[in-house]
């Protein structure tokens, strides 16, 4: 038996081993070694990034791994780097936070690593079986992370709601997979595409399977009407976990969404296009409208992340190459915008809690102008105002959708972006136009150099993408140039 089979799989093997090492290191170093263990986990992510870089084929050639269960292509490499960035930033955001809440230890970074491994497998899944296993590895790690503060009832409640609805959606997705398997006789995505394009089918079992799979995937990206878990899970989770689940798992879910729908089910485009169209429209409308009346910043950002999933769905509805690469670009920009915004929520502390209510932000511009300026920048980016990266990301998605002929949907998207200005600027008004005298609780920016580093990094990246979008967009385009199944 040859070990060559495993060579392109080395980054994943390393990540699995690292998660165990981090867990054991956490136990031996005790509660006081939180920062050391987080640093160890971050270092292993950096090594994984190097390994991914080494084994990636710069030519863009597609290489099957483990007998075609996984595939190594530019698309998976793009999402692997994105996920690694999200996980590493989460580790740096969480170390100080966990120390302050006395929840330190090795379990947290170890679970982040296993979730990262699950997202790696999702990013390169070429078979519905490996896709499911990767999805569950990610989801199970994340359920535990959401309920990590086990003595906090809100953390527990968020985890329970996320778990019950997440497991149900996995069941629905699996039921769809079983129906697709029954009607096409294969779980392999390339074979599904080949079978569908040689003999287009419209039998009821297959269509039901595709629709159920779409429901499962829409749940994972938190699209309306499958979004009910999102606000509670985001609000209840420890804030660094909220930052993580709003970007990492969402990007990975978009990776499998694109690979299954935009690639494998592409020949049946007309059958599922309307489902995604309706979901995108509802997601943009409901996400933005519901965000208006939130007084809790985490909840407001939860609805905002629902709305952003709706914008990204536009690229899938467009179905063109430009649409798919626009989704990749959107996920990249969104990752840095959202982690930055949640990082600021972590850094603003009031009465021992993160700055969760909008009134905590009153008068921040007087007390720490730099922090207020950075938060203003993230709000501009999330609203999609130039010269931030958020504007460029929206521009590419919207123009791809217009070119594909979905003018109506883009009109909804632009109108809803205008609505989103209202709730993003509510926070800005609070920071700049209130004097903060009524904020007796004294919400202050805390000193946590690691978390500050992450926030500044996100600011720089978003600004750089806003000013020079071309290199990133070229990278995103390269991501689909040799998508493993075409």
Q: Is 163 a binder of another protein (CB under 8 A)?
A: yes
**Shortest CB 187 distance to another protein, Å:** 5
Q: Is 147 a binder of another protein (CB under 8 A)?
A: yes
Q: Is 179 a binder of another protein (CB under 8 A)?
A: yes
Which of 41, 98, 177, 306 is close enough to bind another protein by CB under 8 A?
Answer: 177
Q: Is 194 a binder of another protein (CB under 8 A)?
A: no
**Shortest CB 239 distance to another protein, Å:** 14
Q: Is 102 a binder of another protein (CB under 8 A)?
A: no
> Which one of 25-33, 143-151, 256-264, 425-433 is the stretch in contact with another protein (CB under 8 A)?
143-151
**Shortest CB 171 distance to another protein, Å:** 4
Of 160, 106, 172, 161, give the one whose Cα is nearest residue 135: 172
The nearer residue to another protein, 114 or 388, going by C-beta atoms, is 114
User: Contacts from 197-201 at CB under 8 Å and sequence distance 24+?
Assistant: 197/266, 197/267, 200/267, 200/268, 201/268
Q: Which positions from 224 through 243 interact with another protein, judged by CB under 8 A?
A: 231-232, 235-236
Q: Is 143 a binder of another protein (CB under 8 A)?
A: yes
**Shortest CB 401 distance to another protein, Å:** 30
| Tokens of residue 105, six digits | 């230890």
> Which one of 135-143, 246-254, 272-280, 435-443 is the stretch in contact with another protein (CB under 8 A)?
135-143
Which of 5, 61, 150, 200 is close enough to bind another protein by CB under 8 A?
Answer: 150
**Shortest CB 172 distance to another protein, Å:** 8
The nearer residue to another protein, 294 or 459, going by C-beta atoms, is 294
Q: Is 297 a binder of another protein (CB under 8 A)?
A: no
Q: Is 369 a binder of another protein (CB under 8 A)?
A: no
Of 141, 287, 280, give the one whose Cα is nearest residue 228: 287
Which of 63, 186, 320, 399 is close enough to bind another protein by CB under 8 A?
Answer: 186
Q: Is 399 a binder of another protein (CB under 8 A)?
A: no
- Dihedral angle sign, alpha carbons of residues 238, 241, 245, 246: positive
Which of 172, 375, 400, 451 is close enough to bind another protein by CB under 8 A?
Answer: 172
> Which one of 183-191, 325-333, 380-388, 402-410 is the stretch in contact with another protein (CB under 8 A)?
183-191
> Which one of 59-67, 141-149, 328-336, 358-366 is the stretch in contact with another protein (CB under 8 A)?
141-149
Q: Is 299 a binder of another protein (CB under 8 A)?
A: yes
Q: How far is CA 429 from the centre of its chain?
A: 28
Footprint of another protein (CB under 8 A): 128-129, 132-133, 136, 140, 143-144, 147, 150-151, 153-154, 156-160, 163-164, 167-168, 170-172, 174-175, 177-179, 181-182, 185-187, 205, 231-232, 235-236, 290, 293-294, 296, 299
């Amino acid at each position: 038996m040859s070990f060559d089979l495993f060579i392109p799989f080395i980054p994943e093997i390393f990540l699995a081993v690292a998660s165990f090492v981090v867990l054991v290191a956490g136990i031996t170093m005790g509660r006081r070694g939180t920062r050391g263990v987080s640093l160890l986990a971050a270092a292993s992510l950096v090594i994984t990034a190097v390994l991914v870089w080494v084994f990636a084929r710069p030519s863009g050639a597609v290489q099957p791994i483990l007998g075609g269960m996984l595939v190594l292509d530019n698309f998976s490499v793009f999402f692997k780097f994105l996920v690694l960035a999200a996980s590493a930033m989460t580790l740096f955001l969480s170390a100080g936070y966990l120390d302050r809440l006395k929840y330190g230890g090795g379990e947290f970074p170890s679970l982040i690593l296993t979730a990262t491994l699950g997202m790696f497998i999702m990013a390169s899944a070429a078979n519905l079986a490996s896709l499911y296993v990767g999805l569950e590895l990610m989801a199970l790690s994340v359920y535990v992370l959401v309920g990590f503060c086990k003595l906090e009832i809100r953390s527990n409640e968020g985890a329970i709601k996320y778990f019950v609805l997440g497991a149900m959606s996995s069941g629905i997705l699996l039921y769809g997979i079983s129906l697709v398997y029954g009607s096409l006789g294969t779980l392999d995505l390339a074979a599904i595409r080949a079978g569908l394009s040689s003999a287009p089918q419209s039998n009821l079992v297959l269509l039901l399977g595709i629709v159920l799979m779409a429901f499962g995937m829409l749940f994972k990206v938190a699209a309306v009407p499958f979004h009910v878990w999102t606000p509670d899970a985001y609000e209840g989770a420890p804030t660094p976990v909220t930052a993580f689940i709003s970007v990492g798992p969402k990007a990975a879910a978009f990776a499998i969404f694109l690979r299954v729908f935009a690639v494998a089910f592409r020949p049946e485009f007309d059958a599922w296009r309307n489902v995604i169209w309706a979901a995108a429209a509802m997601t943009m409308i409901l996400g933005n409208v519901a965000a208006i009346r939130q007084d809790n910043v985490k909840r407001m950002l939860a609805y905002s992340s629902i709305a952003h999933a709706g914008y990204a769905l536009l690229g899938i509805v467009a179905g063109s190459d430009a649409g798919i690469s626009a989704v990749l670009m959107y996920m990249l920009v969104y990752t840095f915008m959202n982690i930055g915004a949640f990082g600021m929520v972590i850094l603003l502390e009031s009465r021992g809690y993160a700055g969760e209510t909008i009134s905590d932000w009153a008068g921040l511009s007087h007390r720490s102008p730099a922090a207020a300026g950075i938060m203003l920048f993230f709000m501009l980016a999330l609203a999609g105002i130039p010269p931030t990266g958020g504007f460029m990301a929206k521009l590419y998605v919207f123009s791809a959708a217009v070119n594909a002929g979905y003018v109506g949907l883009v009109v909804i998207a632009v109108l809803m972006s205008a609505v989103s200005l209202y709730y993003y600027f509510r926070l800005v008004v609070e920071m700049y136009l209130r004097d903060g005298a009524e904020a007796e609780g004294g919400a202050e920016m805390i000193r946590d150099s690691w978390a500050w580093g992450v926030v500044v990094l996100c600011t720089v990246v978003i600004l750089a993408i806003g000013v020079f979008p071309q290199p990133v967009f070229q990278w995103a385009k390269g991501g689909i140039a040799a998508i493993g199944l075409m």
